[in-house]
Structure 1
């Protein structure tokens, strides 16, 4: 299977995404983009830029390792592993979570972006007190 240039460029951009390059989002997203993750629904590129500026303000390392990618027409799916460091999570140690993204392209830029991942594994399990309670409950369910 051949790799799609627009999808590959998108993945390459995310591999280097940090607080210094959110101004490049216009290269990859349409003006009326709809973005969703487990915590937010963002409408419009300017709102997405503000969200990412806030999100990445205190992030240390943020690295995506992309696995399978599939594009059919204007739709694409990408499976990834995120490794992130943040002073408020896991004592600043790296946190890793697997996820995937559904993307819908328009004129080779993303018009719809929906991230799917375990929000607890990324955030809640690494917050003092709350994390211990969630890990305890997960062990009880096993």
Structure 2
């Protein structure tokens, strides 16, 4: 063990990627991987290649990240919300962050919402933040 964050040695399974022709062998062997793990690998590899990595480096990076995710989250039932829910959550966090610095009317224009929606988001995010910081005395 090399004592990394995830408690496993990431170098061992990755050494195979360095051999000539290993990328093609990996693609052939991936049919034994669960479908979601293959999808995670494909996304990681595509992002690495988009960032300018070579095919071998992108594959190595994707394998390393996929192994880390599988090691950390493996054997758990997971739900990943759709991207739209994540976008809305990030939008609401940004509205909450900007409150008091930018007028409600400007926030409504910027995010294509009504002022009433902005007030609702600010109230909800404030309650969420307060509950996180203070906890709840009575449930």
Same fold by TM (over 0.5)?
no
More strand by share: 1
Larger RCO of the pair (alpha carbons < 8 Å, separation 6+): 1
Larger radius of gyration: 2
Q: Which has the higher helix share?
A: 2
Which of the five TM-score ranges fits, normalised by the shorter chain? under 0.3
